[in-house]
Structure 1
Amino acid sequence: MTGLPFSAVRVTVPASTANLGSGFDTLAMALSLYDTVSARVVDGTAGSARVAVVGQGADAVPTDERHLVVRVIHKALAELGFPAPALRLHCQNAIPHARGLGSSAAAIVAGVAAGFGLAGFDLRDKENADRALQLAAVWEGHADNAAASLLGGFVIAWQESGRFHAVRTQPHPDLAPIVLVPQAESATHTTRGLLPEQVPHADAAFAASRAALAVHAITSDPSLLLAATDDRLHQDYREPAWPETIALVRRLRAAGIPAAVSGAGPTVLAFPPGGVLPGDVAANGFDAVRLPVDQTGVRVVPQT
C-alpha cells in the first residue's frame, strides 16, 4: 500500500517561451499549447510504470519507468514522504520537442504536479507551489520555463542562496504572441555551449536595460516591445546553430515586428500588432501558430 490520498490525477500543463530577448534564464511566458498526463496508481512492482504516449515524441520516449514524467513523479513523491508506486500513464503531447517551447520543463512540471496531486498537496497553496517550483527548477537546471508552466502568465525567475524563486505578473491583454516553428530540433546543452564565458560590459548593460524594459512592455505598454525584445546577450552567439532562425528574427525586426528566439531555439517568438504577421516577410520553413498567453498554468484534477 502506498498510503496516497488519491489513486489517479489528470494534469494539463502549458508550453512556455523563455528569455523574450535579453531576459536570459529570467523572463518567460506560458503559452496556450498543452500536454496532458493522466497518472494512475496500479497494482504492480513498486517503482514500475507503463506509459502510453500519443502525439509529439510518441516514438522517441521510453514507455516504462525511465519516462521523464514517471521519474519526476517518483522524485516528487519521495520528497513528500511517499514510496514510489506502480503507475500507469497516458500522455497526450502537443508541445513540440526540442523546439524552444519548454517541452522538457512542461514534462517536469507535469511530473511534479502529478506527484503533488496524488499526495493531496494543492498547488493553489503558495507554500506548495513554491516547493513544487524548487523541485522542478532543480531538475530543469533553471526556473524560467518551469515557473511559466507552473504559474501561467508572465514570470520573472531568479536564484538566491541556492534556491529558485519566481513571481507571476499579469501580461497586457493586447499581447498576441505568434510562434514560428521549424522542423529542425534543438538541444539546449549544445546551444548553451556556444555562449561565451564573458560578454562586454556594454552588452551586459544593454541586456539589463532591455530586460527591465521588457517587464514594463509586457505588462503595461506593448508598444515598447520592439526595443524591449532586442538582445546582445545570447542570440547572436547561437547563430552558427540556427542561421535561419536568427535571419528570420532580423527580418521581422527590420519590418517593425518585435521578435526574438524562443528559449534556446530554433522557434521564433513574435508579437505582431493585432496578431497578424506581414505578408511580405519571408518565413519559409517555419509554421506560424498563434498561441495566446496561458493565464492559468498547470492544472491538476483528481480522478476516480
Structure 2
Amino acid sequence: MTTFVDGPVRVSVPATSANLGPGFDSLGLALSMRDELTAEVTTSGLDVSVTGAGADGVSRDETHLVVRAMRAAFDLMGTQPPGLRLSCTNVIPHARGLGSSSAAIVAGVALARGLVAGGALLADDAELFQLAARIEGHPDNVAPAFYGGFTISGRDEDGDFYAVGSPVDPRVEAVVFVPPTGVSTEVARGLLPAEVPHADAAADAGRTALLVTALAGQPEHLLRATRDYLHQQYRRPAMPESLDLVDRLRADGVPAVVSGAGPTVLAFTDASGADALVGRCPDGWAGHRLEVGTAGAQLS
C-alpha cells in the first residue's frame, strides 16, 4: 500500500535557455530565475492556486501542466493520491523562450515523487527525466531544468532521451532581455524550413562544438561560438525586434542569441560588463542579470 508524506512538499525549478545559438534542440542552460511550487496530499479533490507570471492564462484544473505531470509521475509509481493541493509562484515568463513549460513539467514530476514515501525507490532520476522529456516532447529545456547546469541532450533511435552535463566557466554570466509579448513555440517552429544547405549544417556543427568548449573555460570564443546558421534568421518574421537586438549586440562584440524559440534575447557577459549590458534593454522590455549553470530542481 502506498504511503504519502505528511505536510507539504516544496520544489524550486530554474528557468532555462535552449539552443544558445547553434545548438538547436540539443544545448540547454539553467538560469538563476526560479519558480517555487508547493504541493500536498489531501483527502479529496483538486485545489490549484497560481500567482505571478502567466497566472491569468493557465487553468486551475486537471489540465494544468504541473498537475498533468504530477499525475503521470504518480502513474509511473503505481499510485494516485485521494486529493491534491498545489500552489505555484511563477517568476519565469510564459511564451518567452525561457523554459516555462519544462519548469512546470519538471516541478510536477519532482513534487509527485516527493509526496510518495520512498518515491526515489519507485522512480529514480533517470526514469523521471525520461518521463518529463516525453511529456515535453524534447529534452533541451527539460534536461537543465531537471539536472541543472549546462547540458547536451537528445533522443536516441530507440526513442530514449539522453542528457550529459558539461562544465560552465564561473566567469560567465548572462543578461536576458524579455519583450512584453510572447511567441508560441509552434509559431516559431512553423517558420523553419524542412531542409537546410549542407554547408550551413556543417558550420553549425562546428560552432556547437566550439560553444561547449567556450562555456567550459574559454569564454573569449563565445562570440564566434554563438553564431547560428540553422534557425534564428528563419524566425525573424515572428520576432523582428528580437533579431534586430541580437544583430546590434553582436555587431558590438556581445555574444547574443535568441533564447529557445524566442522572443527573449540572451547575451553572455562577465561580472564587469553585466550592469552596462542590462542598461541596453529596449524600452518596454525587462532586463535581468542572471547566473548561469545553476542548480536544477531542488526539493525541500
Q: Which position in structure 1 is the counterpart of 2:124?
A: 128
Native 8 Å contact 1:251 1:281 kept in 2: no
Q: Which residue of 1 aligns with 2:177?
A: 180
| Maintained 8 Å contact 1:35/1:93 | yes
Whole-Å separation in 1 of the counterparts to 2:32 and 2:100: 13
2:140 aligned with 1:144: yes
Distance 2:209 2:15 in 1: 23
Paired residue secondary structure (1:112): helix
* Cα 1:6/1:131, change in 2 over 3 Å: farther
What per-residue deviation string (whole Å, max 9, x for no partner) do you get for residues 135-177 of structure 1? Answer: 1111111101011111111111011120111012221000010
Do the aligned partners of residues 278 and 136 (structure 1) sit closer, same or farther apart at CA in structure 2, a change above 3 Å counting?
A: closer
- Secondary structure of the 2:291 match is coil
* CA distance in structure 2 between the aligned counterparts of 1:80 and 1:286, rounded to whole angstroms: 43
Aligned to 1:289: 288
Structure 2 vs 1, CA of residues 90 and 271 (structure 1 numbering), >3 Å: closer, same or farther? same
Deviates more, 1:207-216 or 1:283-292: 283-292
Q: What displacement does 1:277 show?
A: 3.8
Q: Report the CA distance shift for 1:79/1:122 in structure 2 as closer, same or farther (over 3 A).
A: closer
Aligned residues: CA RMSD: 1.9
Aligned to 2:28: 28
Structure 2 residue runs without a partner (length 5+): none
Partner Cα separation in structure 2 for residue 282 and residue 60 of structure 1? 26
TM-score with structure 1 setting the length: 0.92
Partner in structure 2 of residue 110 of structure 1? 107
One-letter code aligned to 1:234: H
Count of residue pairs the alignment pairs up:
296
Aligned residue number for residue 19 of structure 2: 19
For residues 39 and 230 of structure 2, the distance between their equivalents in structure 1, rounded to whole angstroms, comes to 40
Preserved CA contact (<8 Å) 2:147 2:296? yes
1:171-193 Cα offsets, whole Å, 9 max, x none, are 10000100001001110011101
C-alpha distance in structure 1 between counterparts of 2:167 and 2:281, whole Å: 32
| TM-score for both structures, normalised by structure 2 | 0.94
Unaligned 5+ runs, structure 1: none
**Aligned-pair CA distance for 1:230:** 0.5
Percent identical pairs in the alignment equals 49
Instruction: Indicate conservation of the 8 Å contact 1:4/1:82, yes or no.
Output: no
Distance 2:33 2:212 in 1: 23
What residue is the counterpart of 1:100 in the other structure? Answer: 97
CA distance in 1, matches of 2:299, 2:278: 40
- Equivalent AA in structure 2 for residue 100 of structure 1: G
